[in-house]
A and B are shown apart, each in its own frame.
Chain A
Amino acid sequence: MPEELAQPVLRFERVTVAFDEHKALEDVSFEVEAGRSLVIFGAAGSGKTVLLKTALGLVRPESGRVYVFGRDITGLHEQELFRIRSSIGVLFQEGGLFDSLTIEENVAYPLANLDGFECSPQEMHRRAAEALRFVELEHTLEKFPSELSGGMRRRVGIARAVVTEPRLVLYDSPTAGLDPITAYTIIALILMERDLKNTTTLLMTHRYQDGHFLATSRFNRETGQIERSAQENGPEGARTGFLVLRDGRLVFEGTLPQLKASADPYLSKFVKRDD
């Protein structure tokens, strides 16, 4: 394994998150190394969003530790968390775009507010336009989120997540509620971002084909095309891990072939449902 893949970018160590009496996450441990992709499957209410928010430090665990870029974030003050978050991109399930800001202002928001990005207005405009060009929405700069369709808002969300060129990008159910064609566009953008920038990617989803696509496809820089591999244990598969969450607990951790081969009734049902 190359040297840069050895350092865990994100590590959960026996993390439990509770809201009142309800445990949203229970004793969850995993890690993801730099440059790898981790697909987290789970049905609605299984704890995917809570896991993402815990990784960002938006939710504090009741017990356990969360390490981001090797630093324990569980006890950090909000101001210190801002510094760590400046290296993380995030796409929220609903997009999380600010209604009162234009698309350009939304995309440039992290550049204007996160630590370490002292950009001039011209530079911010250039980078926002570039990020929007990546998601093929450069013509929407002056529009407001309410003027865009659900899929377009999700793409703007991706542009905002990657505008700072983060080392780690978290995607929360990016294809939920979208038609198959738009869902493919979104997942293809996630793949392109991963392969162009070599970012560590965490994808929370309930759709098996999203994870399958990430584990069996690559973006070819030379041809500018997405290439699908016939093998599930090829190089993309080897650097894509899979977790399955059920009622806040991790019930599976492994590779795509292992997931498909699992005899567990819940996992088989999960895999077969969409495959």
Chain B
Amino acid sequence: MFDWLKSPVVAVQDFYVLAGRALRNIVRRPHYADDVFLQMDIIGVGSLPIVVMMSFFSGAVMAMQMAKALSQYGAVGQTGQVVAITLVREMGPALTSLMVAGRNASGMASELGSMKVTEQIDAMRALGTDPIQKLVTPRLIATCAMLPLLTIIADFIGIFGGFVISYFVLSLAATQYWNSAWQALDYADMAQGLIKPFVFAFAIALVGCYYGLNTTGGTQGVGRATTQAMVVSSVLIFVLTFFITRIFVNL
């Protein structure tokens, strides 16, 4: 009667088992520091150009839209404040994480998926290496370390994008924009803006690796795993951001 539930329940169980083993391996030997730094480079440095582009234009668009709405109340001077709060609390973490999900969750799924279908994962186990220790844990550590840093950069570039519009298009004074932006932010905003990418990093790395390691069906399966990893991690980012925001709003 409930046979249709079996597959999703098993998938969730497998996901938690993978997550548990990946976390446990952080404190277990052997540690693959080289792989961690390599992944940090791929995820952090590799994502930097698209994160910078995305955040600059997001901030600029936000400033244009907000200035239009604020002008109805004669509060165009508060543009910096609105841009800063929106970016630091919500848009910075969410957009950066979506970029990294699109780029790296799918990348992890396709890389690990290809290794799975060409028996490299089995070979790894047969030759004395735990694939979770060697492949999943370094990606998890690297994503958790890099995503908050990328978010900080995205927040700043986004606010800078808003400044460019405010200064050159809206003719606001530079000090007015930066003061308004700086005054608007408090420690809770910063905490919220950094906790979110840290939590999203788990979703991105673990979902990407989960779909990669569970790839079946040859190259077609790799394509399927890649798409699923990106879709699921992106949706998870929105679901998680809702719950984290709910917690902070109630504080």
Contacts and interface: CB of A to CB of B under 8 A. Distances in A.
Interface string B125-161: 1111110000000000000000000000000000000
A108 B120 CA distance: 15
B171 interface: no
Contacts of B128: 82, 85-86, 110, 113-115
A95 B126 CA distance: 13
Contacts of A93: 119
B14 interface: no
B122 interface: yes
B123 interface: yes
A96 B129 CA distance: 14
A203 interface: no
Contacts of B115: 98-99
Contacts of A78: 125, 130
Contacts of B114: 99
Contacts of A90: 123, 126
B126 A109 contact: no
Contacts of B13: none
A96 B118 contact: yes
A171 interface: no
Contacts of B122: 53, 58, 92, 96
B92 to A, nearest CB: 33
**DSSP class of A's interface residues: helix, strand, loop or mixed?**
mixed
A75 B127 CA distance: 19
Nearest to B30: A113
Contact of B123 (A82, A88, A96, A114): A96
Given A58-B125, A78-B125, A96 B120 contact: yes
A56 interface: yes
**DSSP class of B's interface residues: helix, strand, loop or mixed?**
helix
Nearest to A116: B128
B126 A56 contact: yes
B126 A113 contact: no
Contacts of B129: 113
A145 B127 CA distance: 17
Contacts of B124: 98
B27 to A, nearest CB: 15
Contact of A114 (B118, B119, B127, B130): B127
A99 B115 CA distance: 8
A160 B127 CA distance: 9
A40 interface: no
Contact of A94 (B119, B126, B127, B130): B119
A168 interface: no
B121 to A, nearest CB: 9
A92 B115 CA distance: 13
Contacts of A113: 127-129
Contacts of B118: 94, 96, 99
A90 B125 CA distance: 11
Interface string A99-128: 100000000011001110000000000000
A92 B123 CA distance: 7
A234 to B, nearest CB: 33
A192 interface: no
A191 interface: no
A86 B129 CA distance: 11
A98 B120 contact: yes
A215 interface: no
Contact of A110 (B119, B120, B127, B130): B127
A98 B120 CA distance: 6
Contacts of B125: 56, 58, 78, 85
| Central interface residue in B120, B125, B126, B130, by most chain A CB within 10 Å | B126
A97 interface: yes
B25 to A, nearest CB: 12
Contacts of A85: 125-128
5 contacts: A58-B126, A78-B125, A85-B126, A98-B115, A99-B115
Interface of B: 114-115, 118-120, 122-130
Given A92-B123, A99-B120, 18 more contacts: A56-B125, A78-B130, A85-B125, A92-B119, A92-B122, A92-B126, A93-B119, A94-B118, A95-B119, A96-B120, A96-B123, A96-B126, A98-B120, A99-B114, A113-B129, A114-B127, A115-B128, A160-B127
Please give me the 6 A-B residue pairs with the lowest Cβ-Cβ distance, nearest first. A96-B123, A114-B128, A113-B128, A96-B119, A92-B119, A110-B127
